[in-house]
Structure 1
Amino acid sequence: MSMLLGVAGTGQDDDGWGSAALDLDAYLARIGYTGDRKPTAATLRALQHAHVTTIPWENVDMFLGLPTRLDIPGLQQKLVTRSRGGACSEHTTLFAAALEKLGYPVTALQGRVRMGARKRRPATHNLLRVVADDRIWISDVGFGSSPLEPLELQEGNESTQGAWHYRLTREADLWILHSHRDNTWIAVHAFTEQTRYPVDLVVTNHYNATHPNSPFNTRLLAQHVTDNRLVMLDNTKLMTVTPPADRTDRTLEPDEVAQVLDTTFGIKLNKDEAAKATKKLTLPAT
């Protein structure tokens, strides 16, 4: 299947996340987590906070037309060993494998990004349904400006996480995740409770990486969120958001981008990747 799609597959069974292949100690060291490993809600909150604030969201491989692998050895090599980030399906798969290895019941869900869109977007966002302390939690680590902690799946649930505020609402069979920005609630994405599997993430990953309507293969994007700051890169535009309403923008030269990816986002490109990214950013927009 991976050869037909042009994107590496998961290498996992449909019903599992391949956690046997995960070096859990190395992953936890990568995110700086040294706490309890019991599959509780408290551990889940701490793990998501550590993952989201440590491993950045980025689409360098998609931008450069390189394969995006979802098998656990490939993800560990890239996101753990090489100190790279990843896109939605990469984050979601790696985090699911870690949770599975720690003993959490975890399944994937799928949603449609909204963020002010005027027309229906494809269902290409992935998130996780996790059971802990006999409650159901939504864990969304692959959005870029992801929630720092999971949200319990309850209608009207609101959560303050550092300087960020979230809530969940319902529209018929849809759940809507909202983020409070600029003094208003913005619908981030809408998802259902229908179970998805690792193979489904291969399909969404393929669309994001290769489809001509996807923004992820034509623009270089990176995001990193902390308790009180969100930094975003869109090609050569660097944006820093500090709640409640402070934002600064800076335009980079193409040959600055690789260094900024390293120093600001912790994304370390090799010389070939950096050269190719710089060259593509220098070309006129099409």
Structure 2
Amino acid sequence: MWNGDALDLDAYLAHLGYEGDRSPTLETLRELHRAHVLSLRWENLDAVLRGDVPLDLATLQGKMIGNARGGYCFEHVSLYAAALERLGFTFFAVLGRIRMGSPKLLPTTHAMLIVDIDGRRWLSDTGFGASPLEPIEMKADGTGTATTDGVWAYRLRRGEVTPGADGWTLYQPAREGESDDTGDGWMARHTFTLDPQYPVDFRMANHFIATSSHSPFSYRPFIQRVLPDRLHLLDNRTLTTVRPGADGGPEVRELEPEEVPKVLSDVFGIDLTPKDATLLLTKLV
């Protein structure tokens, strides 16, 4: 279903620097998840520059393997799903609603995988940008999970996520000025139900994200890079660096338009062609 047989698995794993075991175990999933998040950037430059984000595996491999380019969740998860399928994992895809503390009901535009291993179920969320560095267990009794990936803390709870719909909410600690959705310092990041989704569903949601004027990712450059001890974000011309537990909050700097291509290279490791760099400058506000 996810075209795993067409994936150049050796090239994908080499790009991640993964040399571990290839059997479909929890340890393999953890190591592969972490390597994917740390190796592949989150970016929406194709949507902004071209209004088109293909999800076929050949395009994804050409863009994301062997290059310093990345993609957004539908690209990440389509590539990651092909790898898990090739390695023999049992999983299915879901779509979630981004919250980030907002009370608004937003469409299902975030893709994730749910992986089943030895009777236990894991959320493997590799395409969020500021993604967890490890899968998060979805406890069978629905009591939820409070966990850390060694750097960032998360809470996963089961409950009503939209009127009449049972599902799961992933929370992160709320920083100063952010919404406290639990009353004890946690902000809702996104919600999801367990309705299985398929590549055709990805294509429909991806079309909205890449082309609709109602999608912020269709016109506003947004890039993220996760490192073991910090997160870099570029939102249009605003560069933010977040470190867990850092005193004084995030480091924020407003860039001049001409600085953006260099910051993409120096901070995010994304080297644009001269043509794309020039085109990007016309998109910045």
Q: TM-score under structure 1 normalisation?
A: 0.90
Give the structure 2 partner of residue 95 of structure 1.
80
Cα distance in 2 between the residues matched to 1:95 and 1:47: 9
Cα distance in 2 between the residues matched to 1:228 and 1:157: 22
Contact 1:161 / 1:227 at 8 angstroms: preserved in 2?
A: no
Which residue identity lines up with residue 199 of structure 1 in the other structure?
V
1:263 to 241, 263, 266: 266
- Measured on the aligned residues, the alpha-carbon RMSD in Å equals 1.3
Give the structure 1 partner of residue 214 of structure 2.
213
Give the structure 2 partner of residue 134 of structure 1.
119
Cα distance in 2 between the residues matched to 1:66 and 1:213: 13
Contact 2:138 / 2:156 at 8 angstroms: preserved in 1?
A: yes
Which residue identity lines up with residue 140 of structure 1 in the other structure?
D
Equivalenced residue count is 267
Contact 2:159 / 2:168 at 8 angstroms: preserved in 1?
A: yes
Tell me whether 1:177 sits opposite 2:183 in the alignment: no
Give the structure 1 partner of residue 155 of structure 2.
167
Cα distance in 2 between the residues matched to 1:106 and 1:268: 34
Give the structure 2 partner of residue 53 of structure 1.
38
Q: Report the CA distance between 1:207 and its aligned residue.
A: 0.7
Structure 1, unaligned stretches of length 5 or more? 1-15
Q: Report the CA distance between 1:60 and its aligned residue.
A: 0.4
Tell me whether 1:250 sits opposite 2:259 in the alignment: no
Please show how residues 22-171 of structure 1 align to structure 2 within 5 Å. Answer: 22-154=7-139, 155-171=143-159
Q: Report the CA distance between 1:81 and its aligned residue.
A: 2.8
Q: Report the CA distance between 1:112 and its aligned residue.
A: 0.3
Q: Does 256-265 or 94-103 show the bigger shift?
A: 256-265
Cα distance in 2 between the residues matched to 1:274 and 1:45: 36
Give the structure 1 partner of residue 179 of structure 2.
none
Give the structure 2 partner of residue 196 of structure 1.
197
Q: Report the CA distance between 1:258 and its aligned residue.
A: 1.4
Q: TM-score under structure 2 normalisation?
A: 0.90
Structure 2, unaligned stretches of length 5 or more? 161-165, 177-184
Contact 1:57 / 1:144 at 8 angstroms: preserved in 2?
A: yes
Cα distance per residue 1:46-70 (max 9 Å; x no partner): 1111100110100001111342111
Q: Report the CA distance between 1:141 and its aligned residue.
A: 0.7
Q: Does 262-271 or 185-194 show the bigger shift?
A: 262-271
Q: Report the CA distance between 1:250 and its aligned residue.
A: 1.1
1:273 to 271, 276, 282: 276
Q: Report the CA distance between 1:237 and its aligned residue.
A: 0.8
Secondary structure of the corresponding residue to residue 265 of structure 1: coil
Contact 2:138 / 2:144 at 8 angstroms: preserved in 1?
A: no
Q: Report the CA distance between 1:226 and its aligned residue.
A: 2.1
Contact 1:163 / 1:244 at 8 angstroms: preserved in 2?
A: no
Contact 1:182 / 1:244 at 8 angstroms: preserved in 2?
A: no
Cα distance per residue 1:193-233 (max 9 Å; x no partner): 11010110111111100111100012100011122201100
Identity across aligned pairs (percent)?
48
Q: Report the CA distance between 1:181 and its aligned residue.
A: 3.6
Contact 2:220 / 2:283 at 8 angstroms: preserved in 1?
A: no
Q: Does 64-73 or 95-104 show the bigger shift?
A: 64-73
Cα distance in 1 between the residues matched to 2:263 and 2:7: 30
Q: Report the CA distance between 1:25 and its aligned residue.
A: 0.7
Cα distance per residue 1:93-113 (max 9 Å; x no partner): 000001110110121101100
Give the structure 1 partner of residue 181 of structure 2.
none
Contact 1:145 / 1:224 at 8 angstroms: preserved in 2?
A: yes
Cα distance in 1 between the residues matched to 2:71 and 2:271: 12
Cα distance in 2 between the residues matched to 1:153 and 1:199: 26
Cα distance per residue 1:243-280 (max 9 Å; x no partner): 12431111112122112112211222222111100222
Contact 2:52 / 2:211 at 8 angstroms: preserved in 1?
A: no
Cα distance per residue 1:18-74 (max 9 Å; x no partner): 111110111111111111111101110111111001101000011113421111110
Contact 2:219 / 2:283 at 8 angstroms: preserved in 1?
A: no
